[in-house]
């Protein structure tokens, strides 16, 4: 594997997790240059390899979430698997795991054991409900936690059922939050010389993203309800259908923006209407406001509408499908989608690029998620010193 010049080059991470949330944490770290060794069970690897849509029986989402990682097979229930982890942590900075509380301890891989080998090691533990508390023993997948955290309750049409997100929101938010927490713990480790355990519950990152609904309930007794695409504190904010059937997303949070929007749509009087002149009034009369805006927007095809509003410095964007995004010139110019060569699929595949841009040490994607155990020889034999006979005796292909 080529050495990265990314901002986390030199950081060594052991990914002892599976499925989605915790591997997403290590994906972000690998994107930024950390060396990530992913440990997968022998005889099939991470069960996530069987999830989602496939091409040539290869799971495509796995290719994204485990890009830039080295794949090594290890069964933590065996002495060789335990020894593999213990040898790896000698020179590691971080280990990420997502088993139920007590499982790593049962295998002899608790933090007490690993930190005795390497006192500078940080362990990031990801579970549904955290390591402690009344629910800590419960299993927790993202879908359940999206409901538990309060997101599902407020998501959907006002007169419709609560809706789950059509992607792994809990997993994705935990991935970003976990990467931040890991780096915070590592920065403190560099100052103090001692590692520690970071305990992340799947519901926590998403819960923290849900805006003011806790403080408003605490101080005002308000329970935020479902409002479709609207927000309870600003208007207008919605999606609107154009004459050609295409949709736009539009917000006019400030009074000045709303004035420019109404002028561009040919109805400047809408901005001086006493019901709509101030944001509080627009929120109180949002049904009438949206009806008026929908009628005005429905007179225009989407491309013409966007050109009209942008000329007036109003804030609008198309509601893009992924097909629209793949053809978007700004997405292409910014490099938000990258092409990655993949020998297993026999050619390049495109995926989202790492977020953000660095002027000196850009993140790099060296390869997509590898086959299970692709780096057994490099890591288990060449680095850790296991013999081929030891691996084969444990059912691991070198």
Q: Tell me the CA end-to-end span of the chain in Å, nearest whole number.
A: 17
Q: Is the peptide bond before 236 cis (omega within 30 degrees of 0)?
A: yes
Spell out the residues 6+ positions from residue 244 whose beta carbon is closer than 8 angstroms to its own.
301, 302
Q: Give the DSSP letter string of 31-89.
A: HTT-EEEEEE-TTT--GGGGSS-EETTEEHHHHHHTTTEEEEE--TTSHHHHHHHHHHG
Q: Which of 225, 124, 217 is nearest to 178 (CA)?
A: 124
202 CB burial (10 A radius; 0-12, 13-18, 19+): buried
Tokens 């081929």 belong to residue: 388
Contacts of 150 (CB under 8 A, 6+ apart): 207, 210, 213
Active-site position among 57, 171, 328, 342: 171
171 carries an active-site annotation? yes
Residue 97 CA to residue 19 CA, distance in Å, equals 11
Closest to 314 (Cα-Cα) out of 336, 329, 331, 296: 296
Query: Using CA atoms, how far apart are residues 87 and 318, in angstroms rounded to an integer?
Result: 52
For residues 273, 278, 279, 282, the Cα torsion angle rounded to the nearest 10 degrees is -20
Query: Residue 26 in contact with residue 15, Cβ under 8 Å?
Result: yes
> What are the residue numbers of the active site?
171
């Amino acid at each position: 594997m080529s050495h990265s010049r990314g901002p986390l080059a030199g950081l060594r991470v052991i990914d002892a997790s599976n499925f989605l949330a915790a591997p997403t944490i290590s994906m972000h770290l690998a994107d930024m240059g950390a060396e990530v060794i992913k440990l997968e069970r022998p005889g099939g690897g991470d069960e996530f390899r069987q999830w989602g849509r496939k091409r040539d029986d290869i799971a495509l989402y796995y290719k994204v979430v485990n890009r830039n990682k080295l794949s090594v097979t290890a069964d933590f229930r065996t002495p060789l698997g335990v020894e593999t982890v213990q040898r790896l942590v000698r020179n590691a900075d971080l280990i990420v795991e997502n088993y139920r509380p007590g499982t790593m301890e049962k295998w002899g891989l608790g933090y007490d054991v690993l930190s005795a080998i390497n006192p500078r090691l940080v362990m990031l533990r990801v579970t549904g409900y955290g390591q402690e508390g009344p629910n800590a023993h419960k299993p927790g997948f993202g879908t359940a936690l999206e409901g538990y955290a309060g997101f599902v309750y407020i998501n959907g049409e006002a007169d419709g059922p609560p809706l789950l997100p059509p992607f792994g929101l809990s997993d994705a938010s935990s991935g970003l939050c976990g990467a931040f927490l890991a780096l915070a713990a590592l920065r403190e480790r560099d100052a103090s010389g001692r590692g520690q355990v970071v305990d992340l519950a799947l519901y926590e990152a998403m819960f923290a993203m849900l805006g003011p609904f806790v403080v408003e309930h605490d101080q005002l007794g308000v329970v935020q309800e479902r409002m479709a695409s609207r927000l309870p504190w600003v208007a207008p904010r919605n999606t609107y259908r154009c004459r050609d059937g295409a949709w736009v997303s539009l917000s006019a949070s400030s009074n000045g923006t709303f004035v420019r929007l109404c002028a561009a749509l040919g109805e400047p009087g809408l901005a001086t209407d006493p019901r709509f002149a101030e944001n509080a009034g627009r929120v109180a009369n949002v049904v009438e406001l949206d009806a008026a805006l929908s009628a005005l927007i429905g007179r225009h095809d989407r491309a013409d509408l966007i050109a009209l509003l942008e000329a007036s410095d109003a804030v609008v964007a198309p509601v893009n499908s992924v097909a629209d995004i793949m053809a978007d010139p700004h997405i292409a110019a910014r490099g938000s989608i990258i092409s990655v060569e993949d020998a297993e699929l026999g050619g390049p595949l495109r995926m989202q690029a790492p977020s953000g841009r660095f002027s000196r040490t850009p993140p790099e994607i060296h390869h997509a998620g590898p086959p299970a155990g692709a780096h057994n020889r490099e890591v288990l034999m060449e680095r850790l010193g296991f013999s081929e006979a030891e691996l084969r005796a444990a059912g691991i292909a070198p």
